[in-house]
Chain A
């Protein structure tokens, strides 16, 4: 190990996360490697290692002969200070080599609040932040992940954006890079060729112009770059790679367990939910294969906990046989199974009872998102009050005594009546408990949480104005004043993070300057309360002459050119607009299995049909 690093490690918290060497971390012989790939996750080791997507791509990339994919995470502040002081540049965990000399640097971007960490990591690596200041093809800076559906705020920093699921696109891009390296291409040549690949967006090949009102007047492709870039996706989940053998961290991480991926996409189409649209259509893995993968992953890792991961796991069609198959192995081997994203219906509840038989009854969590049926219909959240109360009845009768309920405030069409509906619902849940619990003296804990709705790109609400922070706080006060029951606890998230998220998630490329200014003034780890400083960001907007309200609180017109116009997830704009109108009429749209509503994503599948 590098002696400089050894010295530093003695002085930082949790040094184990900076050294690698975990079970199944991939080592390769440098003599047999012609392409070094640094997979960067712009958050802590503990968060990054909990990300299934990263584990999948790590496996996929390392299966390529001649390619060595290594991991890089954002060092926590104490480590960063020491690294800067000792002049130790950002390195990859497997080899300990500085990533500056790598061929490709790939960032996985799951959330906007990690953008300053991207800049910080490039800087720690001793690389110029902007694509234009990195003249050679090495290293090529690539970004992918959910928040790259609007990559514009990061446009000047990254060379290439990989849209959608990376299993196929990333190896294709890597092979193109290797060809470019062999044949001594210029960066322009490489970027031009990359833009011809399916699912690859090269921001520098688009010219964006703005009108006097600050609204985009045109986005013009250059050098033959495509008008639309459509996301890539895996069509056959049974043939796609699943990391049965994967790294087992030696130190504790956030989700320290087997993550079994049941399916991708979601059939529901809740109108506020970006994931529900951008991952369309739903693609299931077969139940037999999942049972096998689950068992093999337990054996290969030694984990005794498994989670059934997906956007809405209880929608998996063969959930009962799947659980039975897994339980046959898990029960005798003391492996516990958890089912996140529980739907509020009795079927899910029974299943939960079954999975947790004999185990501790931890809290129940539901996300009705809105307090009234009217608003739930408007956002197409297919949960009825009756379902929710019935589920709670079963749960309370079965001895559960804690429920968490998640809501958003500021959803389009929301009135004060809808806000008060939250208090009403929570009170009804309380009465259901009183009438059904076998043990009243134990009491009940009902926790209501609200956050401020963030309109996202590629959803029917992409044109909406976010509530101002004042309006959100007014609603919080209204709710708080009308929900006084000592069994009900009300937590609200501060609106400042949501406000910034709203700016970044629908921002254009002018925001790059804001991000850079904020970073220069110390912004990093913005999703961590230890670091987040709202004022730094507001100052950065002002320094660059931009108004955050223009991005967060302004309603866009139907004809407005949105910054992510070039980026397609397969869902038609006309469909999103239709869904928006349906929201205002309070009309619900059936889920994909009940009836296809023709969103357009079927064109991404073989034969043009969604199979599920």
Chain B
């Protein structure tokens, strides 16, 4: 039997739970809900839970996925409510279903991005932002734990699949972007870092990223 998955949202205070802490939280929530899950084989068996695309700290999401294996008893119909009741505020389990589609098929993420400026300059900032994305190449320096210098360079252009919506409203700029999910994928924060470095004349006082949807290689909803 294949493993099961849940689809869940992460918002509000739960945005500040890191990926690692979320894994612990999930393991404990299964125990609190009295749901037994499969353990890994090996010398130090531990409960198997896997999240294909970790959500960066501070992001919210409507479409997080986690895989695990149900061992006897638990039914998929009641699991979402049982788990939601056992989880911290801001995490809601929407659905439990049989997994199967390979993680590597998860190809695109639709992000809603909010930028706030310290003056009503969003329309001009929007133009500057779009101009950046029209370039042949736009190389951004990003932090990297692997690189010796602590930084690597990445060209973001090939990783931005589409700009789907742009709305400027006074001090706020709202963008909906379709970004590559993995191998390699693009964290929208890297894009924002690039924008800020390139256009210091538009001072960003606040930014927020929200995952609206995850898509497979044919741009159909990924589950």
Contacts and interface: CB of A to CB of B under 8 A. Distances in A.
B17 A302 contact: no
A302 B25 CA distance: 9
A375 to B, nearest CB: 45
Interface in B1-49: 12-14, 16-18, 21-22, 24-25, 27-32, 34
B13 A248 contact: no
Contacts of B14: 21, 250
Interface size class of B (residues with CB under 8 A): 20 to 34
Given A19-B13, A250-B14, A302 B30 contact: yes
A302 B29 contact: yes
B32 A16 contact: no
B163 to A, nearest CB: 24
A473 interface: no
A251 B86 contact: no
Contact of A25 (B58, B86, B89): B89
B32 A301 contact: yes
A11 to B, nearest CB: 10
A83 to B, nearest CB: 16
Interface in A5-31: 6-7, 9-10, 15-16, 18-23, 25
Contact of B28 (A6, A10, A302): A302
Nearest to A256: B24
B205 interface: yes
Contacts of B58: 9-10, 15
B99 interface: no
B206 A20 contact: no
A7 B114 CA distance: 12
Contacts of A251: 16-18, 21
A252 interface: yes
B89 A21 contact: yes
B88 interface: yes
Contacts of A19: 13, 16
Most chain B beta carbons < 10 A, residue from A251, A298, A302: A302
A19 B21 CA distance: 15
Contact of A10 (B17, B27, B89, B206): B206
Contacts of A23: 25, 29, 32, 86-88
B207 interface: yes
A52 interface: no
Contacts of A18: 16
A21 B13 contact: yes
A1 B206 CA distance: 14
Most chain A beta carbons < 10 A, residue from B13, B24, B27, B58: B13
B208 interface: yes
B57 interface: yes
B120 interface: no
A284 to B, nearest CB: 29
B88 A22 contact: yes
A302 B207 contact: no
A10 B88 contact: no
B194 interface: no
11 contacts: A7-B206, A9-B16, A10-B58, A22-B88, A23-B25, A251-B18, A298-B31, A299-B31, A299-B34, A302-B30, A304-B31
Given A16-B16, A302-B30, A302-B86, 19 more contacts: A1-B13, A3-B206, A6-B206, A9-B16, A16-B18, A19-B16, A20-B13, A21-B12, A23-B25, A23-B87, A23-B88, A248-B28, A248-B32, A250-B17, A250-B25, A250-B88, A299-B31, A300-B32, A301-B32
Interface of A: 1, 3, 6-7, 9-10, 15-16, 18-23, 25, 248, 250-252, 298-304
